[in-house]
């Protein structure tokens, strides 16, 4: 998803000794060169002031005591042991070296490094993975250096865990060439999405349009009067152009008619009035916005100033968080109907009602005070949990093959309760559950999308894409096969 900019951060790849050091929380700003790309993934932000307490102000863990190794409904995620040997690259009898891909040196957004710090410090305090300590190294891609960072990870790391890069397709062949598993927090480009040796906690597979459930609900159920007058506006980049085409294809299949499409310069727009006027002139009733939420707030202010209100706006879940609410302001939020599809991740503002989400917030408060808990950070935490559970099941004989095969056996993965169940034994499947949030002057709240399984609506409408959007990379592409995987 499109990332927020902020104050300066040293754009260098941290060494293993300092790789988990938390970066400062950033303020919002426009980042043009994320190519507005990741504007289609699970992103957003949220804050919580809760600390690691037992609800009565006492520390949740007594000083000097090992923390609980349980997370949500997962038992003994981490724990002590007495391992021997070095069964795989990046694994010794004392440590497991893992890589975390992040564009942090470019975006100044530390959500993946923060999640790595919080998870690994908690897990190591609980005893590590069967006694082996986790040593994460942030592989800072600086947006365009994905290939270089993956090559470095191939040299030193056991696996890639809990990260993401906007141009992740640039390094997928290098990763497959060195037979490295990838437990990504989120995937972006078609070459990487659903590629071999990847186990993603992101719902949906590359053949399917991920937001189909929400869009079908919007145009056929919630706002059927908008179906004949749909519009899409996106930041101008190769990735978003392809994603725009996917949305046009999907909406057409659902009986919708897209009457307006436009691209805005990814570096930003000084005057949004012409775009707002075009949307009004076309009579757009359902608007999909693909880009940074700062630009969306300005566009919506222009729409509000000219007294125009579409039936609904897909703000994309990049906007899910307090920053968009602050930028948009009460008048815009009261006027425009902003929606965001969390695709089966439990909403952060309802954390008190979900032990797993509350536990993430408490762990962040303990291990990275002041850091934002964002939707990508929650996904990263789910990826770390999957990695840890799978690795622990291998015991002393921790190999990449054992790790990968253990993760693939998870047929109802929820990250301990952080998200709706996923069948990770299937590499390419539609999204089953979705949940829609609505931006209001009082904050983000669940929309009236008629959930039927707790916080989620499951059995979502699926759509399999037919356009020429490319395919995921395979081991065969690099002259390898599963028989080479050890």
- Sorted by where each begins, the domain ranges of the chain are 32-207+348-429, 212-342+432-458
Confidence of residue 408 (pLDDT cuts 50, 70, 90): very high
pLDDT digits (tens, 9 = 90+) for 262-312: 999 988 899 999 999 999 999 999 999 999 999 999 999 999 999 999 999
Would you call 408 exposed, middle or buried from its count of C-beta atoms within 10 A (0-12, 13-18, 19+)? middle
Q: Look at 26-40, 135-149, 213-227, 258-272 and tell me which has the smallest mean pLDDT.
A: 26-40
Tokens 């609410």, residue located: 325
Distances (CA, A) of 225 to 159, 262, 283, 311, 376: 49, 22, 12, 8, 33
CATH code for the domain defined by 32-207+348-429: 3.40.50.2300
Q: What is the pLDDT of residue 65?
A: 62
What pLDDT digit, counting tens, does each position of 412-452 carry?
999 999 999 999 999 899 999 999 999 999 999 999 999 99
pTM for this model (two decimals): 0.86
For residue 84, what are the contacts with CB-CB under 8 A and spacing of at least 6? 93, 396
Contacts of 481 (CB under 8 A, 6+ apart): 475
The answer to whether 32-207+348-429 and 212-342+432-458 have equal CATH topology is yes
Rounded Cα distance between 297 and 275, Å, is: 13
- The C-alpha angle 43, 5, 361, rounded to 5 degrees, equals 45
Task: For domain 212-342+432-458, give the CATH superfamily.
Answer: Response regulator (3.40.50.2300)
């Amino acid at each position: 998803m499109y990332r927020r900019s902020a104050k300066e951060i040293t754009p260098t790849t941290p060494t293993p000794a300092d790789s988990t050091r938390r970066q400062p929380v950033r303020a919002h700003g426009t980042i043009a060169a994320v190519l507005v790309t990741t504007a289609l993934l699970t992103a957003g932000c949220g804050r919580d002031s809760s600390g690691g307490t037992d609800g009565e102000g006492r520390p949740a863990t007594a000083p000097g005591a090992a923390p609980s190794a349980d997370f949500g409904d997962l038992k003994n995620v981490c724990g002590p042991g007495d391992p021997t040997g070095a069964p795989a690259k990046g694994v010794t009898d004392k440590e497991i070296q893992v890589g975390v891909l992040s564009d942090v040196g470019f975006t100044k957004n530390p959500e993946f490094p923060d999640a790595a710090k919080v998870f690994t410090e908690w897990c190591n305090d609980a005893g590590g993975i069967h006694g082996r300590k986790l040593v994460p190294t942030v592989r800072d891609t600086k947006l365009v250096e994905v290939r270089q960072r993956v090559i470095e990870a191939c040299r030193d790391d056991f696996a890639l865990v809990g990260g993401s890069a906007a141009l992740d397709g640039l390094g997928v062949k290098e990763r497959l060439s060195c037979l490295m598993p990838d437990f990504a927090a989120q995937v972006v480009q078609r070459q990487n999405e659903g590629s071999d040796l990847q186990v993603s906690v992101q719902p949906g597979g590359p053949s399917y349009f991920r937001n189909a459930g929400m869009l079908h609900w919007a145009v056929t159920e919630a706002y059927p009067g908008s179906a004949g007058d749909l519009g899409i506006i996106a930041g101008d980049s190769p990735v978003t152009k392809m994603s725009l085409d996917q949305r046009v294809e999907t909406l057409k299949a659902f009986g919708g008619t897209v009457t307006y499409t436009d691209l805005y310069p990814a570096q930003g727009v000084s005057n949004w009035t012409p775009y707002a006027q075009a949307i009004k002139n076309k009579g757009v009733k359902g608007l999909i916005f693909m880009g940074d939420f700062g630009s969306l707030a300005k566009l919506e202010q222009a729409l509000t100033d000219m007294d125009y209100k579409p039936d609904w706006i897909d703000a994309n879940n990049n906007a899910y968080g307090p920053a968009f609410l602050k930028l948009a302001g009460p008048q815009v939020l009261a006027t425009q109907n902003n929606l965001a599809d969390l695709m089966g991740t439990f909403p952060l503002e309802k954390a008190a009602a979900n032990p797993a989400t509350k536990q993430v917030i408490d762990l962040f408060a303990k291990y990275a005070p002041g850091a934002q808990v964002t939707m990508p950070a929650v996904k990263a935490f789910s990826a770390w949990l999957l990695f840890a559970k799978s690795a622990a099941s291998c015991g002393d004989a921790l190999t990449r093959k054992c790790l990968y095969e253990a993760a693939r056996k998870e047929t109802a993965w929820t990250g301990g309760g952080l998200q709706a169940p996923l069948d990770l034994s299937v590499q390419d499947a539609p999204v089953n559950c979705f949940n829609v949030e609505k931006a209001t002057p009082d904050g983000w709240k669940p929309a009236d999308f008629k959930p039927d399984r707790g916080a989620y609506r499951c059995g979502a409408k699926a759509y399999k894409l037919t356009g020429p959007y490319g395919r995921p990379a395979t081991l065969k592409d690099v002259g390898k096969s599963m028989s080479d995987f050890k």
